[in-house]
Structure 1
């Protein structure tokens, strides 16, 4: 008797566990040490479930691996993307502040995630080049739209240079999560949740007072 294919029981939970354990492994291990088998074993599910949720029509291993990585990446930063889209729709400095806030809130949950992105961006092998394209495909449109001329005129002060603003925002948002531990230890800084929340409010003040046209007290909003 032929077994009838269907949607597995507990579907959302199985998929959620695969994405969760994929993220944990990607951020904690060298990329070449992560495999679909290891992800499935850690999630305690049959490896066939990766093909079920993340496979392409060719069913190639590379397609499965990249499909799972893309899902993990998108779902990790989905709150950031959602808030970014609001910022573009409203052209409001308030939404841009919320964009930074949503980024910090997402990264506080997985503080090693930006280091994973950096490792992949610096790699030069073919498989990781494919993952670079996934990352750039998601992040590049956000960068391009944020620093488009019409957005610059609406949100940023007239004397702000777009390229410098881009670097400043990357520094405020990304560097704390990339800073070497020895550097942080030297300055007696511990990147725990409480410190990152305070740092977020500090960086929001720098953003609003240094780059944005309208000054407004955003301290502790949406906490």
Structure 2
């Protein structure tokens, strides 16, 4: 892991950019001298680690005593995109806007992305836990498709918070039954890009004994800010 920049933010959080091979990432750490528990924060497919909503969540979470890391998935953010990636993204956007079926496009694009992204997250986790300022345990927050696979294959993840869940590849819908860690699923009731019933079915499928569903009115980007506070209390229960 090679750190390429560092700056101390107004809230005391240290923000550092890093690279791990071809993987670009950002690490936010609190001022606390003690090793901090770690939260991996993954944005939805196609959005960069610099997306404003992710950065705001990361800074707020770090200020409450967590180390927070985000990376750009293959073909996302600043990473190179193939012509096939661009075509799949454009087709997915057109289908969603037109209200057409998107399952086949979604499977062909997101399924392979999960397969590529999860090994990179695990390598990043190895490198992060080797840093003296990070002590574990580890939580995950964000994109459900990647999070489900990570929760199944990565025993170091102790709790997870997922967003939306309407569109998740078939493989991860099956894997959801193997997820047994504590879960918090956030659902926007009027999410134009995530079918509500599919998200509810996914929540029902999870094998966790402790799983909580928070549903709020509004569209995809309308998650209330107080959910960040509730998410913090969820992670405090399981990571601190």
TM range (shorter): 0.3 to 0.5
Between structures 1 and 2, the one with greater helix share: 1
The TM-score with structure 1 as length reference comes to 0.32
Q: Which has the higher contact order (CA 8 A, sep 6+)?
A: 1
Larger Rg: 1
The TM-score with structure 2 as length reference comes to 0.30
